[in-house]
Amino acid sequence: MHERYDPAAVEAQARAHWEAADAFAASEDPSRPKYYCLCMFPYPSGRLHMGHVRNYTIGDVLSRFMRKQGYNVLQPMGWDAFGLPAENAAMANGVPPAKWTYDNIAYMKRQLQSLGFALDWKRELATCQPEYYRWNQWLFLRMLEKGIAYKKTGVVNWDPVDQTVLANEQVIDGRGWRTGAPVEKREIPMYYLRITDYSQDLLDALDTLTDWPERVRTMQANWIGKSEGVRVGFPYELEDEHHTLNVFTTRADTLMGVTFCAVAAEHALATYAARDNDKLAAFIEECKKGTAQEAEMAVMEKKGMPTGLFVLHPLTGQKIPVWVGNYVLMTYGEGAVMGVPAHDERDFEFAKKYGLPIAQVIAEDANVYSTDQWAEWYSTKEGICINSGKYDGLGYQHAIDAIAADLSALGLGHKQVQWRLRDWGISRQRYWGCPIPLIHCPKCGDVPVPDKDLPVVLPEGLVPDGSGNPLGKLASFYECKCPRCGADARRETDTMDTFVDSSWYFMRFACPDNANAMVDERANYWMPVDQYIGGIEHAILHLLYSRFWTRVMNDLGLVKEREPFRRLLTQGMVLNDIYSRKTGEGRIQYFNPADVDVQFDAKGTRLGATLRADGKPVEWEGMRTMSKSKNNGVDPQALVGEYGADSIRLFMMFKAPPEDTLEWSDDGVEGASRFMRKLWRVVYEHVSAGPLASSQPPAASSLTSAQRDLRRAAHATLVKVTDDLGRRRIFNTAIAAVMELMNTLGKFEDTTDQGRTVVRETLELVVQMLSPIVPHATHVLWETLGHTDSLMDRAWPKPDPEALVQDSIQVVVQVNGKLRSHINVAASADETQIRETALADPVVQRWMEGKPAKKVIVVKGKLVNVVV
């Protein structure tokens, strides 16, 4: 053993051992409980970023810990390899997305390996491989057969200059990112998956996901958005035919307060009214050009225009004007809403703006209604109906019941459940994705590619130029024969949403080598994923799509599981400081924190920062997620080279709890490295002081009190660390506890043989407790301590109950809730004894000032509160 801790040498030694033993390969073993630990697979963007390192460290710590608990652990890794960045890189560098992607994968794989993750690389997969995505295509065809997949038009962002569809992130302030041209909405045919058929199932099953974070379940439930309300039909006549304008409302109790209806720009009624109304037609065009993003819709100015058409109130027969509103969503309900300005804030604003009448129909207690200004209580559900004829005096639910019943009798409405969840549009007008296996035949229509012709292979050499999908220009791809009639036909050139790729990869990891089936029995062995770990940003879409896809596979009899992820951990983001300077031209230049020196005052308060290169000040803009644009990224590889993987792992796990954001700090890494060196040195000094006289632990009765204290500290730490890693899944506190134990050990100066035996026991526990977090160094230290077995496979240690026994414990005493004194009582003391000891304490008596105790609260083993 070397005196100095040399991470590069230590890590190479440990890795060589694991590699020789093929230590991370997992195989199905029905005799042991399985544990499938999965981290969200990365997009191969080029280099690992710190978010990846954090994610995979958490997964690795849990995997290694569970392995030591006796589980048969699977921890695989793969690549979410299709997607937009590869096309952007291709445009920037002229390199085909395939080459860029595969190069990135090769580099990032080496990075992952250098961090010592216990990954089974034999199961590696990339979603851009035909062997993988053929099963996307195969399942899509099964969905078509079952009617789960279908075709309808959808709205996309259209760049009129580049003649191409843009992703939301390519639209900046309503303009195309490359051309700067105002983006238009355009309707095109697309394929959709009927996730809405599963709404109730996806919602109900959230209750079974008890090991998911509550907030993720809440977000999913809100996303699915079940709302129970009433469908109301407003009758009207058009060209001598009877029609009804149908709206959905959760506030049918306010039906008598309707003063207008509003329809979406795409609604048939709007189209009809615009035929001989140029102004309206222009307004509708304007609405259609606007954003398709919900977030922008919500903050934009509410605008409307009357259609000149009227519908009849279903209960009163009153004429109600119909407006077109830019805030009405064609995709929710039936693209029309009823306007009750008196009791809906949005309608209120709309009515004020356009001078529409406001009719109060709900009253609450003594509150006075004024049409001058909106007040919170106007939208209350606690009030009663007024100005509503026969419904006057009814409360929210009774009014809805009565009105729904009357509407039903008239055939103009009924109670209805409405969902916010929309079907999943999977068509993307992009090159670097999984081809949708369809052929468009002029005679037969849309014909599925026969299973025997799968996969439809994506040609790999193309380089997109930003003007549409290159597949649409590649005759050798799109020219084909109709599989049904043999006529000349055109292959579909849209590819699938990359969320399809990531909706089932976790099942393929069980059997990545099966060329004949999507999944096999091995998926039933490993599924469900016991622990899934990934960013909170995936809380809704990826997780919901995966839950849906797994259900479809279950319905098709492909897998036994219906819920893919038993337990979920959503890790927080990794942030770093942002430093900038305004340049002469009013632009902002960003500097990497590694190139900046920070100045502190005598108290340690941050005073300012200067750029190391020129010594001049730079502005601190706070902390944000690491990104290229803010130049605040940290390269994991450079750090591994400087400090070793173990120090990086230790820092990441120590700095913050896994679910919180993590603020990067170079000093923190330095601190972690310092701890590693200290651990190394302490073991080195212990071992070089010579072998112990006896390998037997000393009898408890012969221990000195200092020896007993150290043993108790060591075993109490083991109890805490076991609980933190196993039950709480919180690592920073576990590491802090081990650090504390090391501090205690540092103060233990007993060099007798018996004292050194206790030191040895403590060090062995420390090495074992840290082994999931810093596996390389502990692997070598374990050998140094004289062991020949591989630490990775050694069972997790068990605390010695005898070491934990305490004779007396300290109890705090409060007087009137304020901490005043400490008392020592026997560990076996009962409540009465504790109370009497507390009341007899001179400090307590002084604070009681001779007054009698009104009440004495005793919390056993902790606290006494005397109330006078």
Partner RNA sequence: GCCGGUAUGGCGGAACUGGUAGACGCGACGGACUCAAAAUCCGUUACUCGAAAGGGUGUGUGGGUUCGAUUCCCUCUACCGGCACCA
Site for RNA in 140-199 (CB under 7 A): 154, 156-157, 165-169, 190
Residues at the binding site for ATP are: 628
> In this structure, which amino acid lies at residue 602?
A
Q: How far is the CB of 723 from RNA (least distance, A)?
A: 6
Give residues 205-234 in contact with RNA (rule: CB under 7 A): 214-215, 218-219, 222-223, 225
> Running DSSP on this structure, what letter comes out for residue 365?
T
Give residues 487-506 in contact with RNA (rule: CB under 7 A): 497-499, 502
Q: How far is the CB of 655 from RNA (least distance, A)?
A: 5
Q: How far is the CB of 22 from RNA (least distance, A)?
A: 30
Q: How many residues does the chain have?
A: 868
For residues 714-735, one letter each, b for 16 or more C-beta atoms within 10 angstroms of the residue's C-beta and e for the rest, the string is bbbbbebbbebbeeebbbbbbb
Among 20, 92, 299, 699, binds RNA (CB under 7 A): 299
For residue 253, give the nearest of 381, 371, 374 by alpha carbon.
381
**Pairing state between β 164-166 and 438-441:** unpaired
Among 6, 660, 753, 802, binds RNA (CB under 7 A): 660
- Render 770-839 in DSSP notation, one character per residue: HTTTSHHHHHHHHHHTT--S-GGGSPPP---HHHH--SEEEEEEEETTEEEEEEEEETT--HHHHHHHHH
The Cα–Cα gap between 479 and 492 comes to 10
Judged on CB neighbours under 10 Å (0-12, 13-18, 19+), 637 is middle
Q: How far is the CB of 538 from RNA (least distance, A)?
A: 6
Instruction: Report how far apart the first and last C-alpha atoms of the chain are (Å, whole number).
Output: 64
Among 306, 483, 617, 671, binds RNA (CB under 7 A): 671
Q: Does position 865 bind RNA by CB under 7 A?
A: yes
Q: How far is the CB of 711 from RNA (least distance, A)?
A: 19
Give residues 588-617 in contact with RNA (rule: CB under 7 A): 600, 602-606
**Pairing state between β 568-571 and 531-535:** parallel
762 phi and psi angles, rounded to 5 deg? -65, -45
Among 443, 628, 728, 787, binds RNA (CB under 7 A): 728
Q: How far is the CB of 851 from RNA (least distance, A)?
A: 14
Candidates 55-63, 310-318, 665-673, 831-839 — which segment interacts with RNA by CB under 7 A? 665-673
Among 85, 290, 483, 697, binds RNA (CB under 7 A): 85
Other CB atoms within a 10 A radius of the CB of residue 53 amount to: 24
Give residues 765-824 in contact with RNA (rule: CB under 7 A): 810, 812, 814, 816-820, 822
Cβ–Cβ under 8 Å, residues 302 and 393:
no
Candidates 347-355, 401-409, 452-460, 673-681 — which segment interacts with RNA by CB under 7 A? 673-681
Cβ–Cβ under 8 Å, residues 139 and 174:
no
Give residues 637-656 in contact with RNA (rule: CB under 7 A): 654-656
Instruction: Identify the helix (H) or strand (E) that includes residue 440.
Output: strand 438-441
> What does the per-residue mask of binding to RNA show for 737-776, with x meaning CB under 7 A?
--xx--x--xx-----------------------------
Phi-psi group of 484: left, alpha or beta (phi > 0 → left; psi -120 to 50 → alpha; rest → beta): alpha
Give residues 363-422 in contact with RNA (rule: CB under 7 A): 420-422
Among 541, 556, 687, 785, binds RNA (CB under 7 A): 541
> What does the per-residue mask of binding to RNA show for 840-859, with x meaning CB under 7 A?
---------------x-x-x
Candidates 449-457, 530-538, 557-565, 692-700 — which segment interacts with RNA by CB under 7 A? 530-538
Among 524, 580, 661, 704, binds RNA (CB under 7 A): 661
Question: Nearer to RNA by C-beta: 15 or 715?
Answer: 715
Q: How far is the CB of 303 from RNA (least distance, A)?
A: 15
839 phi and psi angles, rounded to 5 deg? -70, -25
Question: Nearer to RNA by C-beta: 265 or 792?
Answer: 265
Q: Which two structure tokens, joined as six digits, stand for 117?
A: 């993750």
Q: Which two structure tokens, joined as six digits, stand for 541?
A: 């879409």
Q: How far is the CB of 606 from RNA (least distance, A)?
A: 6
Q: What is the dihedral of CA 815, 817, 818, 823, to 10 degrees?
A: 50
Phi-psi group of 384: left, alpha or beta (phi > 0 → left; psi -120 to 50 → alpha; rest → beta): beta
**Pairing state between β 574-582 and 617-625:** antiparallel
Q: Does position 93 bind RNA by CB under 7 A?
A: no
Give residues 422-451 in contact with RNA (rule: CB under 7 A): 422, 424-425, 427-430
Q: How many residues bind RNA (CB under 7 A)?
A: 104
> What does the per-residue mask of binding to RNA show for 681-710, with x meaning CB under 7 A?
------------------------------
The SS3 assignment for 646 reads helix
Give residues 550-579 in contact with RNA (rule: CB under 7 A): 573
Question: Nearer to RNA by C-beta: 425 or 512?
Answer: 425
Among 92, 298, 366, 475, binds RNA (CB under 7 A): 298
Give residues 25-54 in contact with RNA (rule: CB under 7 A): 43
Question: Nearer to RNA by C-beta: 72 or 502?
Answer: 502
Candidates 95-103, 241-249, 381-389, 726-734 — which segment interacts with RNA by CB under 7 A? 726-734
The Cα–Cα gap between 864 and 857 comes to 6
Give residues 110-139 in contact with RNA (rule: CB under 7 A): none
Question: Nearer to RNA by C-beta: 822 or 851?
Answer: 822
Instruction: Identify the helix (H) or strand (E) that includes residue 228.
Output: strand 226-238
Q: How far is the CB of 649 from RNA (least distance, A)?
A: 14
Q: How far is the CB of 759 from RNA (least distance, A)?
A: 15
For residue 304, give the nearest of 358, 355, 374, 345 by alpha carbon.
355
Question: Nearer to RNA by C-beta: 483 or 726?
Answer: 726
Q: Does position 730 bind RNA by CB under 7 A?
A: yes
- Render 3-18 in DSSP notation, one character per residue: SS--HHHHHHHHHHHH
Question: Nearer to RNA by C-beta: 164 or 707?
Answer: 164
Query: Positive or negative, the Cα torsion across 163, 167, 170, 175?
Result: positive
Q: How far is the CB of 820 from RNA (least distance, A)?
A: 6
The Cα–Cα gap between 354 and 260 comes to 11
The Cα–Cα gap between 474 and 493 comes to 10
The Cα–Cα gap between 493 and 778 comes to 53
The Cα–Cα gap between 502 and 522 comes to 19
Among 239, 585, 667, 749, binds RNA (CB under 7 A): 667
The Cα–Cα gap between 66 and 398 comes to 55
Question: Nearer to RNA by C-beta: 156 or 256?
Answer: 156
Q: How far is the CB of 168 from RNA (least distance, A)?
A: 3
> In this structure, which amino acid lies at residue 37?
C
Q: How far is the CB of 542 from RNA (least distance, A)?
A: 7
Question: Nearer to RNA by C-beta: 306 or 799?
Answer: 799
Residues at the binding site are: 628
Cβ–Cβ under 8 Å, residues 775 and 804:
no
Candidates 107-115, 335-343, 664-672, 700-708 — which segment interacts with RNA by CB under 7 A? 664-672
Q: How far is the CB of 730 from RNA (least distance, A)?
A: 6
For residue 471, give the nearest of 460, 455, 482 by alpha carbon.
460
